[in-house]
Structures are given as structure tokens and as C-alpha cells.
């Protein structure tokens, strides 16, 4: 656990507050946020903080207030989808989940999946999305709260279906862009301000009905791996993180939001490795 990193991240939450909150109220909430996160992390000695968990806790704090927020955040950390992110490395948790994004796309839009694979896009553009339940990427507070409402009442993999729905909504921009990994990475890592959240959530629930979580992780992944030809190796084969060491839990924002130059850097350092189911 890195208390200093928690404090630094909390200090950078200014842009995450709704515009109608006064400076005094924001200061009070920031003072409450750091001990809230620390208490959640101390509830399990094996928990390890990652950058972005503060965004989750801030949203819960804004909605529930200090007392209730602690219990909600503890439950999400102990029994919810954030448990694996706090206990395991990012490679063993969120990146394995994000591999399923390509499995979904291959079933509903093979053309789009092939374009993304052809440029070795990977999933780094979406890294912060499930880690923060999109609270770091969405700019409108009401959208964030709406997403949280759905995620709290849905299976843990629901954010992955939402990732797929967002990518599908941006298909026209992807297919008309230059077929270069850094360009498509930049396009997808920048969330549109006018995102139709209800339509995205509706589409994601439809995708989940077509490919339920258990079937997605087993049968659909098996079929996907069997059908992938040798030319289009699975998505993570060109991901450089396994060559250069694990992603820092404290630099997720930097990695996920890397622009054209940053994405090109990671791409050019790439080395192939096996698909992680």
C-alpha cells in the first residue's frame, strides 16, 4: 500500500467533482477521501492500491456520503469486481478481462475486430475503463453515476461488455481513420463528451445476453482461439508489457492515456506472447 500515492491521486481529483460543488465542500470531500481509501485497503492486508481506485471511491463518496461510502467501498473491494484488481497484478486481472473485448467483437463485428487486430491495437486504450468503472474517462457526473448504478446491479464482467459497446459505437471513426495503431489508439482512448450512455448500456446488456459471462470466458473464447489463423495472432501477442516488466499500479493514467507518440513507443517495443484466457 502506498499512502503517498493515494494522497497524490486524491489531490488530483479536482476535475472529477460536479461543477455545482463549492470549493469548501470539495476540500472537505478530499479530506475524507484519503482516509476512506486507506481504511478500505487495510481491510485486507493483501490489497495493493492501484491508480484509479481513488476515482471509484470518490464517486461512491459523492453519492453515499462518508459513513455509507466506507461500507460500500469495502464490499466492492472484498466481494466485488475490484477484488482481483487489488489482489492480483494488472496482467493477471484486468488485462485478461480486456482480452475478452476481442472475443466479443469477433462475434458481432468481425470486420472491426480484424482492423483492430491488423494494426496490433491491443487493449491499453481501455485499461482505465474497467479499473475505474469509466469514472476517470467520462466527463459528465450524471453519466458516471448512471454507469455505476448499472454496474452495481450487474455481473462483474459488465464493464467489459460496455467497452465493446463503446468501440462498436465508434466503428465509423475507426474504419475511416488511418490504419495505424497510434492513431486508432488515440481515437479510442479519448472518450467523446456527448456519449449516449443509455444507448451504450443498453447495447452492452444485449451483448451480455448474446454471450453470457461464463460462456464468453469458456466456449466463445475457445472458438475464438481455434478460429484465429496464424497471421492474426491473439491481441496480446504484440503487447510489450510482458517484455519490459509489469505495468506500474501507480502509472495507469499515463499508460492508458498515452497519445500518438506514447502508443507508438509501446508498439515499437512490442514482442509477441501467448493469449491469456
Confidence grade of residue 211 (pLDDT, cut at 50, 70, 90): very high
pLDDT for residue 139: 87
Confidence grade of residue 250 (pLDDT, cut at 50, 70, 90): low
- As a whole number of Å, the CA-based R_g of the chain is 18
pLDDT for residue 251: 62
pTM for the model stands at: 0.85
pLDDT for residue 246: 61
* Structural contact between residues 130 and 163, judged by C-beta atoms closer than 8 angstroms: yes
What confidence tens digit (pLDDT) does each residue in 68-92 have? 999 999 999 999 889 999 999 999 9
Confidence grade of residue 145 (pLDDT, cut at 50, 70, 90): very high
Closest CA to 123 of 250, 235, 245, 216: 235
Distance CA 191, CA 194 (A): 9
HSE-up (13 A, CA, CB side) for residue 195: 28
What confidence tens digit (pLDDT) does each residue in 233-248 have? 545 444 433 333 566 6
107 or 273: whose pLDDT is higher? 107
Closest CA to 245 of 259, 232, 234, 255: 255
Lowest mean pLDDT among 129-138, 207-216, 265-274: 265-274
Distance CA 51, CA 10 (A): 10
Quote the mean pLDDT of the chain: 86
Q: Could you give the percent of the chain with pLDDT greater than 90?
A: 70
Mean pLDDT on 219-228: 91
Distance CA 3, CA 37 (A): 9
Residue 274 has pLDDT above 80, yes or no: no
Mean pLDDT on 33-51: 95
Can you list the domains of the chain with their CATH numbers? 3-87 (1.10.8.1310), 94-268 (1.10.472.80)
263 CB-near residues (< 8 Å, 6+ apart): 124, 125, 181, 182, 185, 186
Residue 265 has pLDDT above 80, yes or no: no
What confidence tens digit (pLDDT) does each residue in 186-198 have? 999 998 888 899 9
Amino acid at each position: 500500500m502506498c499512502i503517498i500515492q493515494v494522497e497524490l491521486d486524491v489531490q488530483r481529483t479536482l476535475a472529477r467533482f460536479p461543477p455545482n460543488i463549492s470549493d469548501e465542500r470539495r476540500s472537505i470531500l478530499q479530506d475524507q477521501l484519503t482516509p476512506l481509501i486507506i481504511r478500505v485497503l487495510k481491510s485486507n492486508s493483501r490489497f495493493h492500491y492501484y491508480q484509479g481506485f481513488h476515482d471509484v471511491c470518490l464517486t461512491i463518496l459523492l453519492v453515499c456520503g462518508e459513513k455509507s461510502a466506507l461500507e460500500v467501498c469495502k464490499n466492492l473491494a472484498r466481494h466485488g469486481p475490484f477484488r482481483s484488481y487489488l489482489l492480483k497484478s494488472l496482467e493477471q486481472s484486468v488485462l485478461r478481462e480486456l482480452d475478452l473485448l476481442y472475443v466479443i467483437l469477433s462475434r458481432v463485428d468481425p470486420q472491426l475486430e480484424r482492423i483492430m487486430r491488423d494494426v496490433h491495437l491491443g487493449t491499453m486504450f481501455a485499461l482505465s475503463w474497467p479499473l475505474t468503472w469509466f469514472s476517470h474517462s467520462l466527463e459528465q457526473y450524471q453519466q458516471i453515476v448512471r454507469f455505476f448504478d448499472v454496474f452495481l446491479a450487474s455481473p462483474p464482467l459488465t464493464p467489459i461488455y460496455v467497452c465493446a459497446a463503446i468501440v462498436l459505437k465508434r466503428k465509423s471513426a475507426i474504419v475511416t481513420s488511418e490504419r495505424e495503431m497510434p492513431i486508432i489508439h488515440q481515437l479510442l482512448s479519448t472518450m467523446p463528451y456527448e456519449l449516449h450512455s443509455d444507448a451504450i448500456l443498453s447495447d452492452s446488456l444485449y451483448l451480455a445476453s448474446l454471450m453470457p459471462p461464463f460462456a464468453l470466458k469458456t466456449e466463445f473464447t475457445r472458438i475464438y482461439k481455434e478460429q484465429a489463423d496464424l497471421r492474426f495472432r491473439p491481441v496480446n501477442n504484440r503487447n510489450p508489457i510482458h517484455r519490459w516488466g509489469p505495468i506500474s499500479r501507480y502509472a495507469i493514467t499515463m499508460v492508458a492515456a498515452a497519445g500518438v507518440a506514447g502508443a507508438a513507443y509501446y508498439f515499437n517495443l512490442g514482442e509477441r506472447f501467448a493469449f491469456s484466457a
